[in-house]
Amino acid sequence: MLEKFKSDTPLDQRQDIVICNQLNKWFGSLHVLKDVSLNVKQGEVVVILGPSGSGKSTFIRTVNGLEEIQKGSITVDGIPLSNDIADIESIRKETGMVFQSFNLFPHMTILKNITLAPIWVRKWPKAKAEKVAMELLERVGIPEQAHKYPGQLSGGQQQRVAIARALAMQPKIMLFDEPTSALDPEMIKEVLDVIKTLAGSGITMLVVTHEMNFAREVADRIVLFDFGEIIEIGTPNELFDNPKHERTKLFLSQIL
Amino acid sequence: MDKNKLLTKKPQKSPYHPSTGTLDWLKKNLFSSWLNTILTFVFATIITFIGIGSVKWIFLTANWHVISANFRLLIVGQYPIAELWRVWICLTLVSFLIGLSWGLWKGTMGHLTIAVTSMYFIVGCLPFILMETRIWLLINIAVIGATYAVGKKWSKLKKSTLIGWFLMFPITIFLLNGFGVLNHVGSNLWGGFLLTLLIAIVAIVFSFPIGLLLALGRRSKLPIVRWFSIGYIELIRGVPLITILFVAQLMLPLFLGNGIDIDNVFRAMVGFTLFTAAYLAENIRGGLQSIPRGQFEAAEALGLNTTIKMTFIILPQALRAVIPAMVGSFIGIFKDTSLVAIVGLTDLLGMGKNIISNPEFLGTQMEVFIFVALVFLIFCNLMSYASRRIEQSLGVGKR
Ligand SMILES: Nc1ncnc2c1ncn2[C@@H]1O[C@H](COP(=O)(O)OP(=O)(O)O)[C@@H](O)[C@H]1O
Ligand SMILES: [Mg+2]
């Protein structure tokens, strides 16, 4: 496990918390990740862009072991990802994930959704877990919904609960897979605002999104995926204003 | 207003037109057209004939003496009269738990308690019942009332009550059999509705965990576990229940060694349990399949291990989704217990048949079979009613 870094350390002097080396993955005969290598620094915010079907979700899901890779190596927070379930579980303790479709547990109240993992995985006493949960609900702006069920909340509120649920485990890394793609336009902002406040709080983030303005605002680096490969990596300014690669230019011209 | 109405050619009706009186209702539902009117009369005639015939039979022709004279046999079989108090103690313990549960959980339990209490009451009012029986039933009703009050006051008793329900089964078996502490009453003497209930409850209670394991096993990543589960489920589902009962009668002694003398009731219980487990496994598997992949992934992403993920996230949702199917299986097995007559046990139906063949009660098949059917009808309906209520009360906050 890596030691906590000092917040005034410049990015390039921090340690790598996620190290992906030459990842390759196939779904049957479909080659979805082709020699993908990416290192992420502690506290860095990396936004992943790319056309749909280019392998963004698959990539981000390999980081916490939801997808297996066939070749390559991944190290998260100093723990090498192997087939050993104990390794995978200890990596998952340190990584929170937010899905496109929220995936809240519909049979539990919001509070139970958030406290379940801290109580059973972190072994916190119930009172502590509930206190932390309420603080997080406060932070994402919906403390009054604590005793409702997910089905009674709007999409934007559900996604904010999902963020709180992931944060309750106090992860070092947060993975977001298109967190606003399933939302009505008027709810996108409330969720993006929550994610923005997280960026720069010291937590490492990998975010797959199609929200360009948001990407430009929060990203330390942007990664562009196409056909299972990383086409280009750069700061928002480099990538948006001076794209080097033809396919980056094509992608940006289509989306902007 | 009235004028307006008269002026328009057709009085304007709202699409939803609640009928105002009985006459209206009759007109709309039974006499809306010529054809309808004819059908109404035809059916009314048929129903009247059937009705009159039934009433005549029930009150004049039928010889209910066969039921009253054999009531004890139908309910508890050959269980020795001197030891009947043990059955009563069991029933009283159940009443104790029912009342307590009603006070603690209210809602659904309330309706069930009322059903049980009224059953006690109705049986207690039957004219041919012994005084002793009446007293026991009265005690049971009193126990329900008293424990209800206790449960209402002490909400902390929930856990103990659940444990009580779990202990109920071994206690019942112990009391009924005696196991040397009390006089031994062999299960060859257990019969009638008591036997029906015991076999059904054992099958239901024990098939559930086995079915659950089989359902999980069928999805296991370990090939041996998976193939065993598939093999078991498909084997059992491909064979008639009667065959399994015969096999259990003949094979069980072979498996467990010749020295041990296993009684018939136990063999039948094993057969029913193994049979129900396979069907239950398939029900539960259906529920597991209905859970979206995102639920598994969300649980895994939080770092929950398989046990916690299944216990708190997947199974609660999967089981809730298949309550109707599971209760369907339970009702099925409850009725199928009547097949034990074939392997020589005298359950409710078997006892009924014995009574009919007694020359003293010649020609009373109808009365006996109707009584047996009525008992099954009441209990099956109670089960499906309970299932509907449980579904409703679990429906809170459903997606
Ligand atoms: N479970 C799966 N089985 C087979 N193919 C899959 C599976 N998941 C994704 N794919 C395929 O892998 C490719 C990459 O998918 P994905 O990572 O979801 O792309 P993105 O998130 O960039 O839209 C797509 O062609 C998709 O059809
Ligand atoms: Mg995707």
Is B399 at the interface with chain A, CB within 8 A? yes
CA–CA distances in Å: residue A116 to residues A83, A135, B42: 25, 16, 64
Q: Is the CB of A52 under 6 A from ligand 1?
A: yes
For residues A185-213, give the mean pLDDT.
92
Residue listed under structure tokens 């049957």: A28
Helix, strand and coil content of chain A, in percent to the nearest 5, comes to 40, 25, 35
Confidence (pLDDT) at A100: 95
Domain range summary for chain B, segments of one domain joined by +: 73-189, 191-399
Using a CB-CB distance cutoff of 8 angstroms, which residues of chain B are in contact with residue A169?
302-303
User: pLDDT-derived band of residue B260, with 50, 70 and 90 as boundaries?
Assistant: low
Q: Does domain B191-399 have CATH number 1.10.3720.10?
A: yes
Distance (Å) from the C-alpha of residue B295 to the closest C-alpha of chain A? 6
What is the mean pLDDT of the segment spanning B288-294?
95
Q: Print the SS3 string covering B106-169.
A: CHHHHHHHHHHHHHHHHHHHCCCCCHHHHHHHHHHHHHHHHHHHHHHHCHHHHHHHHHHHHHHH
Q: Find the residue in A nearest to B295 (Cα).
A: A103
Copy the structure tokens of residue A198.
Answer: 């997280």
CA gap B91, B75 in Å, rounded = 13
Give pLDDT tens digits for B62-96.
788 888 888 888 888 888 888 888 888 899 999 99
Judge whether B317 is closer than 8 Å to chain A, CB to CB: yes
pLDDT higher than 90, residue A68: yes
Q: DSSP 3-state assignment of B389?
A: helix
Q: Which residues pair with A27 in a beta bridge?
A: A30
The mean predicted confidence, pLDDT, of chain A is 93
Is the distance from the beta carbon of residue A248 to the nearest atom of ligand 1 less than 6 Å?
no
Closest CA to A95 of A38, A164, A166: A166
Asked if A150's CB is within 8 angstroms of B303's CB, the reply is no
Q: What is the ipTM of this complex?
A: 0.94
Chain B residues with beta carbon closer than 8 angstroms to that of A120: 304, 308, 312
Residues near A121 by Cβ (< 8 Å), separated by ≥ 6?
A93, A169, B302, B303, B304, B308
Helix (H, G, I), strand (E, B) or coil at B26: helix
Distance CA(A110)–CA(A168), nearest Å, equals: 12
Q: For A110-150, write each residue's pLDDT tens digit.
A: 999 999 999 999 999 999 999 999 999 999 999 999 999 99
pTM score: 0.83
CB proximity B234 to A under 8 Å? no
Say how many C-beta atoms besides its own lie within 10 A of residue B273's C-beta.
21
Residues A106, B305: C-beta atoms closer than 8 Å: no
